[in-house]
Amino acid sequence: MRRGFERLNQPYRSAVEYQDDLQHFLQDSWHLKDWIKNDTGSGIDKQLIEREVQGYPALMVAADLATACKHLNHDKKSWADAYATRKDLTVHLGQDRGIDVVYYITARDGQTTEQPLISDVVAAWDDLLRKLGLI
């Protein structure tokens, strides 16, 4: 998840590569809970981690977006009713910055951009892992 976060903060030359990295980050960040649940050495109760992740709105939005990436839509369960609603692309001609891609995410509580979301997801996991005594 952290490697994906670092990649997303680098300049991109392709919107497709950015979208791929964003989708992988979202899936990795949501499925981290499954890794913790299945790690018998962590000492973390499976129901506890499931309850705890629900206390972090950024993780619930990431869950919806990861599910949509994997299944195309929210066929199964929705945690925050979050959807990617718009994508803006800025191309910097003649510069080394490449492109900027901003996704707008709509959830129950309004609208936010993807960039603060990915930072919020990492901060949520940092907080939760500390709370669980895993870091």
What is the tens place of the pLDDT at every residue in 78-125? Answer: 776 776 777 777 777 766 667 777 778 877 777 676 778 899 999 999
Instruction: Reduce the DSSP state of residue 110 to 3 states and report it.
Output: strand
DSSP state of 76: S
Averaged confidence pLDDT in the chain: 84
What's the rounded mean pLDDT across residues 17-24? 91
pTM of the shown model: 0.83
Q: What is the pLDDT of residue 27?
A: 94
| Enclosing H/E stretch for 17 | helix 15-38
Which of residues 77 and 52 earns the better pLDDT score? 52
Which of residues 18 and 53 earns the better pLDDT score? 53
Q: Is the pLDDT of residue 74 over 60?
A: no
Q: What are the distances in angstroms from CA 44 to CA 41, 48, 117?
A: 8, 7, 26
